[in-house]
Amino acid sequence: MHQPDPKKQLGQHWLHDEPSLAAMLTAADVQPDDYVVEIGPGLGTLTQFLLDAGAHVHAIEFDKELARTLRARVKHSPEQLTVTEADIMRFNFSELPKDYKVVANIPYYLTSGLLRILAESANPPKNVAVLVQKEVAERVCAPQGDMSTLSVSVQMYFTASLGPIVPAELFTPPPKVDSQILILERRMTPLFADIEPKVLFRVVKAGFGERRKKLRSSLSGGLAIDKQAADTLLAQAHIDGDLRAQNLSLEDWIRLTKTWQAIQK
């Protein structure tokens, strides 16, 4: 079958390295009869691995030609593969079975937005294994002291860890940087069940709004309060106002948000 050239504007890079593809299935703990969402299946190389593992694959492909030809590229039983031509950023995850998994080699430019969508979905995945830019994978998994809006946003919903590195030269065409498998496992017990997510992430966004500034200054600007009010907020939450946002733990952000909510009532 004709193999289309990768489209640069869609961030397409084909991966045929079998050990790397197998590692993605291991990272997501793919088992027979799992319902697995593959984002951007491309030529179907990862799709075939998932099918061979006995999973039901729901492939979501933005590229019209690739969506149309995917079934012919892979060996499968009719009921084992669902193909949807769609923009994943607009996809309705609530239509999927509960406890589905996501395994995908995703375009770099989608990473942050897609992870946020998966995290905040009313029907989030149980496990995620996505191949992303190595630097971004490291940012998502950053510990207290090196955290960012992205790491806090994802780690509030998932435990995050790093899988194998996949060197750029294993892709066609090679991207400019290496990739890494990012492994996410949904937290079965929510960390912030009694907090409105939009309030939490408003506080987090405010805190990281000016990373180089101390918390009292960044919260003052981000929450539109004066520095004295910011100091009061931080003191009530038992957080040192001289710290910077990246130094806070997930528990610190939750406590800070609860304090902010109480003050607003």
Per-residue pLDDT, 63? 87
86-132 per-position pLDDT tens digit: 999 999 999 999 999 999 998 888 899 999 999 999 999 999 999 99
The pLDDT of residue 153 is above 60:
yes
In contact, 38 and 57? CB cutoff 8 Å: yes
Average pLDDT over residues 190-207: 92
Burial of 198 (C-beta count, 10 Å sphere; 0-12/13-18/19+):
exposed
The pLDDT of residue 57 is above 70:
yes
In the DSSP assignment, the letter for residue 33 is: T
Taken in order of first residue, the domains within the chain and their CATH numbers are 8-186 (3.40.50.150), 197-264 (1.10.8.100)
Task: Record the tokens describing residue 247, joined without a space.
Answer: 């130094």
The pLDDT of residue 160 is above 70:
yes
Helix H or strand E segment including 36: strand 35-39
- Please tell me the pTM assigned to this model: 0.91
Give the confidence band of 9 by pLDDT, cuts at 50, 70, 90: very low
Indicate the average pLDDT of the chain.
91
